[in-house]
Amino acid sequence: MKGASPKAAGNPSVARTRGRRAKALVHYADKPILLIMRYIGRRPLAHAFVLLGIVAAVGCALGSQFAIKNLIDELPAGRHHPAAIVTAFLIIVVLLFADNLFWRLSGWVSVRTFVAVTGDVRRHLFGYLLSHSTGYFSNVQPGTLASRVSATANAIFTIENTVAWTALPPLLSVLGAIGIIGTLSPLMSLALLLVSGCMAAVLFWLGSKGRSRHMRFASDAASVDGELVDVISNMTTVRMFDATRRESARLHSFLTHEMTSREASVRYLEKLRLLHAVATWLLSSGLLGWVLWLWTRGRATTGDVVLVSSLGFAILHGTRDLAVALVDLTQHISRLAEAAQTLLVPRDMEEMVGVPALQVRDANIDFENITFAYPGRRPVLDHFSLHIDAGQKVGLVGPSGAGKSTVLALLQRLFEPPRGSGAVTISGQCLSDVSLASLRSAIAIVPQDISLFNRTLLDNVRYGRPDATEEEVLRACAHANCLDLVRSLPEGLGTVVGDRGTRLSGGQRQRIAIARAFLKDAPILLLDEATSALDSVSEAAIQLALDRLMEGRTVVAIAHRLSTLQSFDRIVVIHHGRLVDDGAPNELSRRAGIYRDVLLRQERRAATGNRQPEVVAHARMAKASSAFDEPA
């Protein structure tokens, strides 16, 4: 039997790194700009090279404008002094070549750098999401989460590209053009600087005022993605109830909201662009009139007029492009902020830094005075206490909602009791004080609702032990009585089982889950209706396999059919979150109580061949569900 100390779980430095990264990500939830800078800072040299390349390219472009001005000024005397013309021409050629060279070098480096940033973002966000509690995932649509992970990475990629190729070049061009004009007229340069600065500040302020529109659009777009994934993943149910038209109508309402918010977002951007177009037209016209006035007074050469005219148009186009880029950036940053605020919420079950690994010495389990309630609901467990000796097989029975599945969930630390509301321990170690990885490696579970990945049978069976050999996998399949299934498939263990295992029947998925538990070989085994999806013939065969699997392990099982628990050491009866009866199966069957009532009822049904759902007549069960099963 394997212990519970995997390398990652037992390495304090790994846990410490994971904890620091999680806290850092939470810190950036409402700081999108700093979040971007965090990932830029992971590759400072590559980003610096891209930045310097852009600065050099813009400098060469502006330098070529100044070189053209010199060429024009040299033309009148050029026929008598051709060397000056040739020199001016060569300078322009060199600057144009350098301009293109720097652009291409920056672009080449940016391809790898910007794409690598998106990979970092996706990895870190995915890793952060994986450590959220089960309750977090039950409150958010999976499609929405997946959409926002991609939206965050794509937003950062778009922002980097927009800054590098759309915002930064015109900004540098405008500033450089103003500097060059300053060599002709410092007063003109100062006026341009003040007017451009004021215009940029007004546009930025107006852009920030539209942030709520952009965030509303981002939220509505994510909702549409979540609805699409939800419907597609439940397509069998949709067709079963002939609900295609109803779902189309429902999606239409979501799309209507999304299109309305998108239109409001985009229309606001167009208003800003219109305002900027009028402002730059007035600015460029005034600049051209000013330089012509200087020329009439002999304070500017013909080359100066050409230079200022070309730079004026550069400023016109540059400020226009800059305004468009800044407005677009506002929209993308708003989308990034919305996605980050949704994903980077504080985790309600944060793992402490440097926690030790669970050391399973004897695999005994203790629930110590547990009081637990799901958010917004009444307590499911009420001062619940239970001790399970190592190697003991314990069955949990009780009406639906009594707290059986909650007991298994707390044992796996899918949820955690509040401070002061009791504790769960294994081998005397409180579960909140050990690493989650080591705890999960100590427990194997065969659930009622089997979830398989859209991967091969081999990948699914050895999910708990990725390093297992194919021979070990086949041996586990043989123990779980599913070796014939493997051999009957065309590709054997290489067969892809479909989304959530839809290419297999319910009983086949159950056997694969049992084989997975065999292969994991953990000291603690949890069974949640492990044979519920099997027919009577298969159940008998699987029960023999489960008997072998339970040998030498601490077992906690939930079962609706009490006959499957007759070989267990103890039966624990739970009602209204409290332990109301406890003892060996034979002992409880002779003692008046819930267990004996249900057992007699099931025996009479089995004797008459009636397989209808159980209806417990005992007065104690009148207010509870009749079945001994409970939703997870």
Number of folded domains that form the chain: 2
Confidence band, pLDDT 50/70/90 cuts, at residue 51:
very high
* pLDDT score, position 537: 63
Which has the minimum average pLDDT: 213-217, 315-319, 496-500, 624-628? 624-628
Q: Are residues 336 and 374 in the same domain?
A: no
Instruction: Out of 62-66, 111-115, 162-166, pick the least confident.
Output: 62-66
- Residue 218 covered by a domain: yes
Q: Are residues 289 and 387 in the same domain?
A: no
Please check whether residue 541 lies inside any domain of the structure. no
- The separation between CA 444 and the C-alpha centre of its own chain, rounded to angstroms, equals 26
Of residues 69 and 118, more confidence is placed in 118
Provide long-range contacts, Cβ within 8 A and 24+ apart, for 307-312.
307/65, 307/66, 307/68, 307/69, 307/180, 307/184, 308/181, 308/184, 308/188, 310/65, 310/68, 311/65, 311/177, 311/180, 311/181, 312/284, 312/287, 312/288
Does residue 531 surpass a pLDDT of 70? Answer: no
Is residue 542 assigned to a domain? no
Closest by CA to 158, choosing from 59, 57, 32, is 32
Predicted local confidence at residue 7, as pLDDT: 40
Residue 341: is its pLDDT beyond 90?
A: no
Q: Which domain holds residue 435?
A: 356-442+557-632
Query: What integer best gives the mean pLDDT of the chain?
Result: 78
Looking at the fold, whether 214 and 153 belong to one and the same domain comes out as: yes
Q: What is the pLDDT of residue 102?
A: 94
Q: Last residue of a domain, which of 343, 366, 391? A: 343
Q: What's the pLDDT at 114?
A: 93
What integer pLDDT is reported at residue 351 of this predicted model? 65
Percent of the chain residues past pLDDT 90, beyond the cut: 17
Is residue 149 within 8 Å of residue 122, measured between CB atoms? yes
Report residue 415's pLDDT band, with 50, 70 and 90 as the boundaries: confident
Residue with the bigger pLDDT between 200 and 395: it is: 395
In this predicted structure, the answer to whether residue 403 has a pLDDT above a threshold of 50 is yes
User: What pLDDT shows up at residue 143?
Assistant: 67
d(CA 524, CA 358): 13
Contact call for residues 69 and 307 (beta carbons, < 8 A): yes
State residue 618's pLDDT score. Answer: 38
Q: Give the number of residues written for the chain.
A: 632
Which pLDDT score is estimated for 288? 72
Name the least confident of 5-14, 200-209, 343-352, 575-584.
5-14
How high is the pLDDT of residue 590?
A: 85
The predicted structure's pLDDT at residue 614: 43
Q: Cα torsion at 577, 583, 586, 588 (round to 10°)?
A: -40
The answer as to whether 71 is a domain residue is yes
- Look at residue 240 in the predicted model and tell me its pLDDT: 67
pLDDT digit string (tens) for 549-601?
888 889 999 887 787 888 899 999 998 899 999 989 888 888 887 888 888 88
Q: Do 322 and 366 have their domain in common?
A: no
* Average pLDDT of the residues in 92-120: 91
Tell me how crowded residue 60 is: count the other CB atoms within 10 A of its CB. Answer: 20
Band (21; pLDDT cuts 50, 70, 90): low
Query: Residue 343: is its pLDDT beyond 90?
Result: no
pLDDT of residue 207: 65
Whether the predicted pLDDT of 400 surpasses 90: no
Instruction: Answer yes or no: is pLDDT of 366 > 90.
Output: yes
Sheet containing 578-583: give its strands across.
443-446, 524-528, 554-558, 393-397, 570-575, 578-583
Indicate if the pLDDT at residue 86 is higher than 90: no
Task: Assess if residue 518 is contained within a domain.
Answer: no
Q: Output the pLDDT for position 619.
A: 36
Q: Choose among 200, 132, 625: nearest CA to 414.
A: 132
> What pLDDT does 349 receive?
64
Residue 483 lies in a domain: no
Same domain? 153 vs 55:
yes
CATH code of the domain in which 239 resides:
1.20.1560.10
Averaged pLDDT for residues 497-507 = 78
Whether 332 and 235 map to the same domain: the answer is: yes
Q: Do residues 373 and 242 share a domain?
A: no
Highest mean pLDDT out of 100-109, 139-148, 175-184, 220-229: 100-109
For residue 9, the model assigns a pLDDT of: 38
Clarify whether residues 79 and 44 are in a common domain: yes
Q: What is the pLDDT of residues 243-284, one digit of tens each?
A: 777 788 887 888 887 788 877 777 777 777 777 777 777 776
Confidence of residue 231 (pLDDT cuts 50, 70, 90): confident
Domain of residue 573, CATH code? 3.40.50.300
Contact 351, 131 (CB under 8 A): yes
3 state DSSP class of 422: coil
* Token pair recorded at residue 552: 């030498």
Residue 631 has pLDDT above 70, yes or no: no
CA angle 284, 288, 291 (to 5 degrees): 140
491 in a structural domain: no
380 and 321 in a single domain? The answer is: no
The verdict on residue 523 lying in a domain is: no
- Residue after which a domain boundary falls, among 343, 371, 406: 343
Residues with Cβ within 8 Å of residue 614, at least 6 apart in sequence = 560, 598, 601, 602, 605, 626, 627, 628
Predicted confidence at residue 321, as pLDDT, reads 75
pLDDT of 554: 92
- Quick one: 360 and 339 in the same domain? no
* 298 and 196 share one domain: yes
- Among 343, 369, 404, the domain boundary falls at 343
Average pLDDT, stretch 308-337?
Answer: 74
For residue 625, pLDDT beyond 60: no
Q: Which is more confident, 470 or 6?
A: 470
Task: Name the most confidently modeled range: 18-27, 54-63, 444-453.
Answer: 54-63
For 309, residues 6+ apart whose C-beta sits below 8 A from its C-beta are 288, 291
CB-based contacts of 426, cutoff 8 Å, min separation 6: 358, 360, 363, 364, 365, 366, 439, 442, 524
pTM: 0.64
**Across 186-195, 212-221, 522-531, 601-610, which has the greatest mean pLDDT?**
522-531
Quick one: 301 and 419 in the same domain? no
Cα(88)–Cα(76) distance, rounded to whole angstroms?
Answer: 14
